[in-house]
Amino acid sequence: MGVFCFYSSVKVKKLEREKRLDAIVDSNLNSNYDVREVETMIQVALLCTQASPEERPAMSEVVRMLEGEGLSERWHEWQHLEVTRRQEYERLQGRFDFGEDSLYKLEAVELSGGR
């Protein structure tokens, strides 16, 4: 299989939800790829890049998913969790939306170098 373009997992999640796989796959492949294989690889990759190591599949499970076993169930479970997390994030964001002129506005701060 060809090379994927580099994106953060957040961007890949968004593109996957929008079914815009062409934006994820390397343009040098000229649409010469199996869409189902790409979907499988993206789903497995997203499962493997979860923030919590406990939620990531073991390598033996990754191999089984790439061979076509158990990915559907695991993917649907993960999507349900993602929807719940997104809704909770949006709820909290609305609750703590301080606005542009707030004293609580967060800004990037440059930290000192290594010690």
Q: What is the pTM of this model?
A: 0.65
Specify burial of residue 4 (Cβ count, 10 A radius: 0-12, 13-18, 19+): middle
Q: What are the tens digits of pLDDT across the range 52-82?
A: 888 899 999 999 999 999 999 999 998 888 8
What are the sequence ranges of the domains in the chain?
9-95
Q: What are the tens digits of pLDDT across the range 20-55?
A: 888 888 878 777 888 888 889 999 999 998 888 888
